[in-house]
């Protein structure tokens, strides 16, 4: 087995370790090979390969450990999932491997936790997201057409540049697959196959996912897919695809109708704010969605502070007129720099004073140090010194700055 760009010694070692078990390269690595692309880990730039074995992943890894020419750099076993992560060195090349036991999945509840059991390689391919990711390259097979196992027409869809779900309940079983479709669509320039898009529209209209109880598995999958979209993909194109397919409805109907999310996320980028929190800020109830998605507590706190500050700014009959007044407001109890940045990103309140506070006013120190103040005004250490410094800073801001 000889694949350009990959060390032949790696394939030989894997074929030897497989012994009588059927072993295959699967997923994105096969897809990218057929697209004449290398499949690499985005963080370290190393070759990143997914393998599926009919049998035991741990047993195959143990055999691989004794194959000559394979340098062992580390491994992590996930026994509950039947997978082993490896980092190997073969022929001078470091390679990341994810070896999994072939399994099938059944979703007793839409978007719930699947029931998993060992199965054939064909059944393992049938549980995947899209046909282009359900192609297997078998080890130990002779050269020729039999080398590829493609039961779902993935090669045809690669030629058509289409993303196609594997079965009629794919989206119902795991709606986070739509976010993954947006990732692939933006990265590869693919579109959604018409029948799969019809499945999305029909399922979103049915809304089969229970709202009366939490689905932590779905929440974590949605969050992780959105994070990957925002961190690794050209997110403006990916989010545009997701919205065009109705995918923002997975979060909130208000967000689906939002036409300003691109500007909001650009501003969030400018202020080094988390993009997912900025996206959620466009929802009708950002805090509820943040909790549902299990965003980190820091993001939730930032959104709570943002909602409170936005309410003050929007409902206020009159805004402050002087820099010192704005500084007192934006540095008051419960207000955070992240909340101000989010108000800037969402266009909540007057942009000029918020932007000036963010860029200049918040960085301005009192014109005199505490030690100098105590000597000049004969003050003893204590709260009075801090209060006097704040007064001097406010006077300095009003004398030096203008909102005109």
Listed by start position, the domains of the chain span 1-160, 167-250, 259-271+286-363, 365-404
319's CB contacts (< 8 A; 6+ apart) are: 313, 349, 350, 353
C-alpha to C-alpha distance for 318 and 385, rounded to whole angstroms = 31
pLDDT tens across 115-155, in order? Answer: 566 678 999 999 899 999 999 998 865 443 448 899 999 99
DSSP 8-state symbol, 365: P
What are the φ/ψ torsions at residue 7 (nearest 5 degrees)?
-70, 130
Cα dihedral 302/216/58/118 (nearest 10): -160
Mean pLDDT (the chain) is 88
81 — pLDDT class (breaks 50, 70, 90):
low
C-alpha to C-alpha distance for 219 and 113, rounded to whole angstroms = 11
Q: Looking at the domain that runs over 167-250, which CATH code has it been given? A: 1.10.110.30
The angle at the Cα of 86, spanning 101 to 22, to the nearest 5 degrees, equals 35
C-alpha to C-alpha distance for 238 and 181, rounded to whole angstroms = 9
pLDDT tens across 209-235, in order? Answer: 776 555 667 888 999 999 999 999 999
Strands (E), 235-311: none
pLDDT at 266: 96
DSSP 8-state symbol, 116: E
335's CB contacts (< 8 A; 6+ apart) are: 305, 308, 309, 329
For residues 155 and 31, the answer to whether their CB atoms sit within 8 Å is: no
Architecture of domain 1-160: 2-Layer Sandwich (3.30)
DSSP 8-state symbol, 131: G
What b/e string do you get for 199-217 counting C-beta neighbours within 10 Å, with b at 16 or more?
Answer: bbeebbeeeeeeeeeebee
Is 5's pLDDT higher than 70?
no
How many percent of the chain have pLDDT more than 70?
91
CA distances from 29 to 34, 108, 112, 234 (A): 9, 30, 28, 20
| Terminal CA-CA length for the chain | 72
pTM above 0.85, yes or no: yes
Q: What are the residue ranges of helices labelled H in 78-215?
A: 121-126, 154-160, 170-173, 176-188, 194-206
pLDDT tens across 251-305, in order? Answer: 999 999 999 999 999 999 999 999 999 999 999 999 999 999 999 999 999 999 9
Give the mean model confidence (pLDDT) for residues 355-383.
89
Give the mean model confidence (pLDDT) for residues 177-181.
97
pLDDT at 218: 83
């Amino acid at each position: 087995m000889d694949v350009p760009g990959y060390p032949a010694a790696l394939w030989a070692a894997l074929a030897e370790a497989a012994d009588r078990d059927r072993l295959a390269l699967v997923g994105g690595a096969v897809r990218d090979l057929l697209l004449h692309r290398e499949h690499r880990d985005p963080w370290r730039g190393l070759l990143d390969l997914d393998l599926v074995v009919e049998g035991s992943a741990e047993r195959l890894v143990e055999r691989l450990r004794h194959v000559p020419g394979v340098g062992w750099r580390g491994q992590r076993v996930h026994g509950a999932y039947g997978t082993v992560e490896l980092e190997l060195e073969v022929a001078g090349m470091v390679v990341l491997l994810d070896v999994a036991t072939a399994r099938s999945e059944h979703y007793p509840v839409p978007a719930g936790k699947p029931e998993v059991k060992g199965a054939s390689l064909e059944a393992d391919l049938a549980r995947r997201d899209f046909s282009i990711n359900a192609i297997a390259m078998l080890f130990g097979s002779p050269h020729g057409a039999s080398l590829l196992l493609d039961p779902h027409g993935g090669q045809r869809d690669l030629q058509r540049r289409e993303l196609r779900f594997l079965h009629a309940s794919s989206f119902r079983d795991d709606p986070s697959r739509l976010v993954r479709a947006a990732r692939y669509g933006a990265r590869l320039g693919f579109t959604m196959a018409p029948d799969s898009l019809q499945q999305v529209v029909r399922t979103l209209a049915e809304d089969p996912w229970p709202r009366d109880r939490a689905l932590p598995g779905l929440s974590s999958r949605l969050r992780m897919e959105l994070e990957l979209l925002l961190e690794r993909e050209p997110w403006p194109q990916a989010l545009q695809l997701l919205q065009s397919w109705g995918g923002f409805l997975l979060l909130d109907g208000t967000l689906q109708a939002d036409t300003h999310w691109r500007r909001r996320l650009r501003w969030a980028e400018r202020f080094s704010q988390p993009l997912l929190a900025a996206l959620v800020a466009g929802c009708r109830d950002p805090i509820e969605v943040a909790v549902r998605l299990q965003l980190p507590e820091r993001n939730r706190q930032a959104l709570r502070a943002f909602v409170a500050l936005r309410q003050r700014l929007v409902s206020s009959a009159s805004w402050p007129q002087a820099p010192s007044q704005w500084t007192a407001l934006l540095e008051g109890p419960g207000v955070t720099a992240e909340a101000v940045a989010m108000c800037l990103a969402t266009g909540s309140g007057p942009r000029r004073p918020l932007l000036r506070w963010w860029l200049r006013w918040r960085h301005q120190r009192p014109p005199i140090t505490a030690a100098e103040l105590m000597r000049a005004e004969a003050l003893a250490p204590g709260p009075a010194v801090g209060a006097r410094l704040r007064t001097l800073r406010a006077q300095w801001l009003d004398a030096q700055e203008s909102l005109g």
